[in-house]
């Protein structure tokens, strides 16, 4: 989906919680040839109830436009607070709206842990089969994304495929010692921070519509603001991920999903409190 992709965004009067979202979230990782260590059925958080208000994103768009023009992160913080409170129905609802994203993140975490530890016959066979092709780092990233998130038609599916790939590429670029087929737990948690930041930025820009185009920015500034936005979100979300990651030893996918959901909720609550 990309943060600069144009979209009209959802309007007013529509359901705050898309009825098809649980189907997308429930399908994540379902066709993976490396089964997770746990076989728990997915547990989705409750979605927002009711229809969206008129001009739901008006304040968020105004503040976002200011950030894009001057780069002041306080305007970005305000945009996120308004996006959560009025545009999404509150922090809990904003986090729940991203439940396909957090389910995909939990599946990515579980998958990387399995292949890194050789936790099952299927995991070892998957790694051996891939290594036999003498893959580049880019090939490995593409294989991981294909395994977890095969091509689908919804914007949410497109978004978390994009976020998985970009977060992995950025982690490997920033730390060349990381092997995506043998990642330590700290590296995987760091990946989760980047992944959630990209997903939150994608979600914001998709819902707010063609804000980059309406701000009439030059291409260099567009790239700069996208990076600033993702870096800001990674720092803010990452604080809560670090706070919560120790709440479960050897977490299951559902526990990971709950941790990522709570990290998003706490972050949106913080943005709302600043308004």
CB atoms within 10 A of CB 85: 21
Say yes or no to pLDDT of 6 above 70: no
C-alpha span between 275 and 150 (Å, rounded)? 39
Say yes or no to pLDDT of 12 above 70: no
Q: What pLDDT, on a 0 to 100 scale, did the predictor assign at position 1?
A: 46
pLDDT tens sequence across 100-147: 999 999 999 999 999 999 988 999 999 999 999 999 999 999 999 999
Q: How confident is residue 49, by pLDDT bands cut at 50, 70 and 90?
A: low
Q: What pLDDT, on a 0 to 100 scale, did the predictor assign at position 41?
A: 64
Give me the mean pLDDT over the 243-264 stretch: 93
Give me the mean pLDDT over the 168-193 stretch: 96
Q: Which of 144, 184, 189 is nearest to 165 (CA)?
A: 144
List own/partner pairs for 9-15 with CB under 8 A and 24 or more apart.
9/57, 9/206, 9/207, 9/208, 9/209, 10/52, 10/207, 11/52, 12/51, 12/52, 12/53, 12/54, 12/55, 12/56, 13/51, 13/52, 13/54, 14/51, 14/52, 15/50, 15/51, 15/52
Say yes or no to pLDDT of 4 above 60: no
Q: Which residue has the higher pLDDT, 179 or 26?
A: 179
Give me the mean pLDDT over the 78-97 stretch: 95
Q: How confident is residue 34, by pLDDT bands cut at 50, 70 and 90?
A: confident
Give me the mean pLDDT over the 41-66 stretch: 81
Show the DSSP H helices in the chain as ranges: 21-27, 58-70, 73-82, 91-97, 99-117, 121-131, 137-148, 155-174, 185-208, 211-214, 219-244, 253-273
Backbone angles phi, psi at 51, to 5 degrees: -100, 155
Contact 70, 89 (CB under 8 A): no
Give me the mean pLDDT over the 152-169 stretch: 90
Q: How confident is residue 51, by pLDDT bands cut at 50, 70 and 90?
A: low
Mean pLDDT of the chain: 88
Q: What pLDDT, on a 0 to 100 scale, did the predictor assign at position 14?
A: 63
Torsion of CA 138, 101, 3, 31, to 10 degrees: 40
pLDDT tens sequence across 191-240: 999 999 999 999 999 999 888 887 788 999 999 999 999 999 999 999 99
Q: What pLDDT, on a 0 to 100 scale, did the predictor assign at position 32?
A: 83
Interior angle at CA 260, CA 258 and CA 261, nearest 5: 60
């Amino acid at each position: 989906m990309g943060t600069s992709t144009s979209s009209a965004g959802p309007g007013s009067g529509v359901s705050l919680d898309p009825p098809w979202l649980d189907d997308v979230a429930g399908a994540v990782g379902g066709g993976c040839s490396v089964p997770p260590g746990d076989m728990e059925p997915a547990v989705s958080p409750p979605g927002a109830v009711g229809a969206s208000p008129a001009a739901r994103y008006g304040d968020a768009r105004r503040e976002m436009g200011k950030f894009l023009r001057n780069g002041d992160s306080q305007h970005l913080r305000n945009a996120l607070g308004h996006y959560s409170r009025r545009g999404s129905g509150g922090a809990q609802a904003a986090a729940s709206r991203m439940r396909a994203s957090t389910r995909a993140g939990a599946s990515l975490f579980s998958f990387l842990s399995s292949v890194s530890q050789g936790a099952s016959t299927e995991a070892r066979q998957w790694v051996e089969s891939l290594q036999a092709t003498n893959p580049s780092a880019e090939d490995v990233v593409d294989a991981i994304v294909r395994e977890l998130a095969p091509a689908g038609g919804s914007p949410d599916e497109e978004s978390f495929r994009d976020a998985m790939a970009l977060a992995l590429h950025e982690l490997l670029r920033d730390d060349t010692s990381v092997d995506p087929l043998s990642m330590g737990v700290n590296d995987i948690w760091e990946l989760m921070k980047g992944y959630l930041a990209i997903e939150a930025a994608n979600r914001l820009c998709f819902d707010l519509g063609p804000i980059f185009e309406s701000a009439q920015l030059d291409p260099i500034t567009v790239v700069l603001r996208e990076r600033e936005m993702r870096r800001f979100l990674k720092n803010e979300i990452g604080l809560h991920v670090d706070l919560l990651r120790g709440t479960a030893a050897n977490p299951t996918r559902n526990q990971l999903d709950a941790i990522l959901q709570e990290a998003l909720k706490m972050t949106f609550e913080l943005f709302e409190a600043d308004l």
